[in-house]
Structure 1
Amino acid sequence: MLDTTLDKVPLVSLKQAETDAQGFAEAFGGSFQRFGFAMVADHGIDAALIDRAWQMTRAFFDLPEAEKRGYFVEGGGGARGYTPYKTEIAKGAEHVDLKEFWHVGRELARGHRFAADMPDNIWPDRPAGFRDTFLELFAAFDAAGDRLLSAIARYLKLEPNWFDPAVKDGNSVLRLLHYPPIAEDAPNVRAGAHEDINLITLLLGAEEAGLELLDKDGRWLPVKPPEGAMVVNVGDMLQRLTNHVLPSTTHRVVNPPAARRGHSRYSMPFFLHPAPDFLIKSLPSCVSAENPDRYPEPITAHDYLHQRLVEIGLIKA
């Protein structure tokens, strides 16, 4: 059974954080604690930059298949460059996802201490301007993510800058996603039910119907923000850090109605990760007699990411 998410998940404005930081933190964090999701207006990413990024995304995925596959790194776990159609699979799913994607990561200085864990970016020869556009968009997502993490810190009664050292030089990834047109008898999801791996995900492109979250009562709720707003959700690393106070909610992308199956779907999620050496350890404030520590053994972000990439088929065990 489906319901309308806007009737339940509040639409919050990041502009509020400029004049009422705690009020925004309570609204944003409250939505996270209830749904694991929030919808954020006035996120500060320039609309002209977003429009240019959509044009580049469509132009790249329109390239010949052989040309795109030239940017696929065998054994690279999809960390950078191109990942072909029907490669990724949700944990425990029967069908591979009906998507292809491109990954842009953080640009590191030569000799950086994380260079072994965060490979260099790969850039296509065309469309022209691709590299500059997506480095600019990566930086804009990074800045918006920092502001949202500050609100989460306030909500958890931490210092507003608590996450700053955790995400400095973090292993974040900007994914350009293309769900090609599908046949009428295709499996019933473009992306199987899953949870994200990272701290938080910032998503542009959810205006096109298909994204659904699994509510606590077992209903699938469609997530369709107003034009220009961003969908933000909790990832498993933040769920683990907060000992499930903030839940990483299962979500999926279902196939459209028959009339829309001949159309592509595009989206741009930014998976905000901590630095590889960040130790994911339950926050003391999130552990109590009523909520005992589920994760007594801490784990680094790098080791956790590797475990999960094996589970979804991007790295072979």
Structure 2
Amino acid sequence: MPATTFPPAPHHQPPPPTEENLNWAALPIVDLAKTATSEERAALAIQVRDAMRTFGFMYIINHGLTQPQNERIFDIADVPFSQMAEEEKILYSSKIEETGSYKGFKPLFEQQSHPKVLEPFLPELRAFAEHNHFKVLHPILRLLAIGLELPEETFVKMHDICATGPGFVRFMKYYPRSEEDEAKSKNVWFKGHTDIGTITILWSQPISALQIMTPDGQWRWVRHIDNALVINIGDAMEMLSGGYYKATIHRVVQPPPDQRGYERLGAFYFAMANDDVKLVPLSQSPVLQREGITRKIQDKDAPTMVQWRKGAIKSYGYVELQRKDDVIEEEVVEGITVKHYN
């Protein structure tokens, strides 16, 4: 068969990793290749369970894409940022406050269709989304179900894939800031928060800026690992697991001195449960029956995934937060108190 020919894309040259001695988070590394048999999955589920209870974060290796395939995705990810005029980007701006959706461009201070520069890459982007969903997300969901002593497909059945979701690929770029802007934000680029969905898949990139709050209450940096994924639990999974798995607070800050002149390009897959899934604890879990359940809201008042998703997205950055102290600000979304950390 003839070799597949891909449309050309300017190469995105990744910056060098930092050489600074940072306070790194000791996140576990999970080998996804070790999921072929039920025995392997049972053993790996223990590691994943402990990671998601302790840190809410972990690395994934051997996820099925090679380093060259990884680099190709970042080449495509940079296209809408580097190959489009600012005037055209405005046409695809996401109407976050109106729709409760991130689809489209999110302006620096603030699509259903796709920009023409991306159209040649749509088959690759679809394949990338499907790889994230079926080859990464589904194995993780199975391991999380095993960790709760539930049937392996419990969470998988809550995560269909269709044209409108529930998961989506997102590309983001952070640009270097002026000293004045850094002073105004106290070097914080994205406030401490938890993600709203079930699982977030971050394709590791070299610019060090992501920090997580570890169990001892300290901010620690997430180290870059070539061709690895950074996985974290979101609010929806914490609610479904009755607090057993933790949605960990994380933030984006100014990179270390040797990386401050570089742009930070990110590639993500944000997974959501199906819109009609009610975010109540899976109380049939033998683990939850033994360990107990922690609820964010009473079951009768719990939102569905679509209610939680739209409410949280619409409010973020558009609703005035209530300051509790020098660090924590709060808002209420669908009856649930959401904290933000400066």
TM over 0.5: yes
How far apart are residue 171 of structure 1 and its match? 1.4
Equivalent position SS for 1:192: strand
Once the two structures are superposed, residues 137-183 of structure 1 have per-residue CA deviations (whole angstroms, 9 ceiling, x without a partner) of: 11111011011101111111111111122111351121101001221
Equivalent position SS for 1:57: helix
Amino acid at match of 2:262: H
Once the two structures are superposed, residues 66-115 of structure 1 have per-residue CA deviations (whole angstroms, 9 ceiling, x without a partner) of: 1211211443444322111122xxxxxxxxxxxxxxxxxxxxxxxxxxxx
Equivalent position SS for 2:268: strand
Amino acid at match of 1:231: V
Partner of 2:52: 32
Pick one of 305, 309, 327 that aligns with 1:305. 309
Query: Please, which moves more after superposition, 63-72 or 145-154?
Result: 63-72
Equivalent position SS for 2:197: coil
What TM-score results when the alignment is normalised by the length of structure 1?
0.82
The answer to whether structure 1 residue 23 and structure 2 residue 46 are counterparts is no
Partner of 1:43: 63
Pick one of 109, 112, 130 that aligns with 1:86. 109
How far apart are residue 288 of structure 1 and its match? 5.9
Partner of 2:277: 278
Partner of 1:182: 177
Partner of 1:106: none
Amino acid at match of 2:272: H
Matches within 5 A, 1:54-203: 54-62=74-82, 63-74=84-95, 75-87=98-110, 121-127=112-118, 129-143=120-134, 144-169=136-161, 170-185=165-180, 186=182, 187=185, 188-203=187-202
Query: Please, which moves more after superposition, 35-44 or 68-77?
Result: 68-77
How far apart are residue 4 of structure 1 and its match? 2.1
1:201·1:269 contact (CA, 8 Å) conserved in 2? yes
Shift in CA distance, 315/301, structure 1 to aligned 2, threshold 3 Å? farther
The answer to whether structure 1 residue 231 and structure 2 residue 230 are counterparts is yes
Amino acid at match of 2:114: W
Return the alpha-carbon distance in structure 1 between the equivalents of residues 205 and 262 of structure 2.
Answer: 15
Query: Please, which moves more after superposition, 214-223 or 169-178?
Result: 169-178
How far apart are residue 268 of structure 1 and its match? 1.1
Return the alpha-carbon distance in structure 2 between the equivalents of residues 183 and 59 of structure 1.
Answer: 24
Partner of 1:296: 298
Shift in CA distance, 164/36, structure 1 to aligned 2, threshold 3 Å? same
Shift in CA distance, 84/153, structure 1 to aligned 2, threshold 3 Å? same
The list of structure 1 runs, each at least 4 consecutive aligned residues, that deviate by more than 4 angstroms after superposition, is 287-294, 314-317
Equivalent position SS for 1:162: coil
Partner of 1:221: 220
Partner of 1:52: 72
Query: Please, which moves more after superposition, 121-130 or 275-284?
Result: 121-130
Amino acid at match of 1:28: V
Equivalent position SS for 2:36: helix
Unmatched runs of 5 consecutive residues or more in structure 2: 1-21, 321-332, 334-342
Amino acid at match of 2:116: D
Return the alpha-carbon distance in structure 2 between the equivalents of residues 176 and 128 of structure 1.
Answer: 15
Return the alpha-carbon distance in structure 1 between the equivalents of residues 139 and 112 of structure 2.
Answer: 25
Amino acid at match of 1:64: A
Equivalent position SS for 1:16: coil
Return the alpha-carbon distance in structure 1 between the equivalents of residues 33 and 167 of structure 2.
Answer: 24
How far apart are residue 224 of structure 1 and its match? 1.3
Shift in CA distance, 46/277, structure 1 to aligned 2, threshold 3 Å? farther
Amino acid at match of 2:65: I
What percent identity do the matched residue pairs reach?
24
Shift in CA distance, 306/197, structure 1 to aligned 2, threshold 3 Å? same
Return the alpha-carbon distance in structure 1 between the equivalents of residues 100 and 311 of structure 2.
Answer: 12
The structure that has the greater radius of gyration is 2
Partner of 2:31: 13
Return the alpha-carbon distance in structure 2 between the equivalents of residues 299 and 76 of structure 1.
Answer: 17
